[in-house]
Amino acid sequence: MIQPTFVVVCTLAFSTAFVLLAVLALTMRAITALFPVRQAGFDAAVAAVISSTVSTIIPGARVVNITEIPCSSQPRHGKSA
């Protein structure tokens, strides 16, 4: 019986890993095409949740204005931006 050489085994392992990674990349591409990233926006559900939370924490309070703060202006890990 012929024994495979070390080079053949390494080539086969490399090729198998390459094919597996290519299949995973194509799967990820298909998933991101089917489910695109939602655009950051503000909808009625978010306003309802914020109003409900405020009224639960502070009874009788009313939300008048909701302003989104960009993430880049918030301090990270206790450090100022």
pLDDT tens for 48-80 read: 999 999 999 999 988 898 887 777 655 555 555
Residue 35 CA, distance from chain mean position: 12
Residue 50, C-beta contacts closer than 8 angstroms, at least 6 positions apart: 63, 66
pTM comes to 0.46
pLDDT band for position 38 (cuts 50, 70, 90): confident
Same domain, residue pair 45 and 31: no
Residue 59 is classified by DSSP as T
**Which of 72, 65, 69 shows the shortest CA–CA distance to 50?**
65
Mean pLDDT of the chain: 85
Same domain, residue pair 31 and 5: yes
Q: Which two structure tokens, joined as six digits, stand for 29?
A: 């591409």
Inside any domain, residue 49: yes
Same domain, residue pair 33 and 4: yes
Same domain, residue pair 24 and 10: yes
Residue numbers of the domain that contains 29: 1-37
